[in-house]
Amino acid sequence: MDKFPISKRNVSFPCGAITLEGLLEFPQHRENPPQVALILHPHPLYGGNLFNNVTSRVAEGLLQKGVATLRFNFRGVGASGGTHGGGVDEIDDVLAAMSFLDSLGQANFGDLIIAGYSFGCWVGLKAAAREDRFMRLIGISPPVDMYDFGFLLNEKRPKLLLAGDRDFVCSTKNFLELTEKIPEPKLIVTLKGSDHFHSGREDQIVSKISTFLNL
């Protein structure tokens, strides 16, 4: 059972000349404005969308703990306009989603968290490097074998990085080499026996995120 009654709202917001679709969910009857997590889905060209198993379960788990969530489809996915931008234009998508949350006002939401999975991790954390309003950073299955994550080497905000030890685009060697160089504060987690898709391991991810956020 949910700890809080949950309100759901289908939303849309502009990103330049296109419009992106999203799902805003928030706990009701809180005394204080909830934190809000922007949750980003995996690669659009491989079936990634806002209803992905990992992003959906992370959203559900955070909502049960009283954290509001916004998931949205990157450009070219579902009813979101535009076409896939190779991870470059998608940074604008993330910043547009943040602006949308800003437009709702501090009376509705408190601190802003970003949580990206796979491609969404790479794009989301790159966007966060440009925007200091993201207070805490969560990266699930960062595809370190495919993309450069060197922008994290000077990242001093609290961050959680999590990967399975059987991930085909996030080898344990490269993951640990990167995370050893990233400054504190940080929580680094390797899930034993889990691959890139984390099927059946979603609750473990939620548990680690809850620990990181002190929920």
Taking only the tens place, the pLDDT of each residue in 129-183 is 999 999 999 999 999 999 999 999 999 999 999 999 999 999 999 999 999 999 9
Residue 1's pLDDT is what? 42
Query: What length is written for the chain?
Result: 215
Residue 142's pLDDT is what? 98
Which residue from 15, 89, 77 is spatially nearest to 50, judged by alpha carbons? 77
Over residues 110-126, the mean pLDDT reads 97
Q: What is this structure's pTM? A: 0.96
- Alpha helices (H) along the chain: 53-64, 89-104, 119-129, 172-181, 202-213
Distance CA 123, CA 212 (A): 21
Q: Cβ–Cβ contacts within 10 Å for residue 78, how many?
A: 14
At residue 44 the predicted structure's pLDDT band, cuts being 50, 70 and 90, is very high
Q: Sign of torsion, CA 101 35 190 49?
A: negative
**What pairs with residue 14 in β-bridges?**
19
Residue pair 77/112 in contact (Cβ under 8 Å)? The answer is no
Taking only the tens place, the pLDDT of each residue in 187-208 is 999 999 999 999 999 999 999 9
Distance CA 101, CA 204 (A): 28
What is the C-alpha R_g of the chain?
16
Residue 123's pLDDT is what? 98
Bridging pattern class, strands 18-27 and 186-191: unpaired
Residue 110's pLDDT is what? 85
- 70 three-state secondary structure: strand
Q: What percent of the chain has pLDDT over 70?
A: 98
Over residues 88-116, the mean pLDDT reads 93
Residue 129 is which amino acid? A
| Domains of the chain listed by start with CATH number | 6-213 (3.40.50.1820)
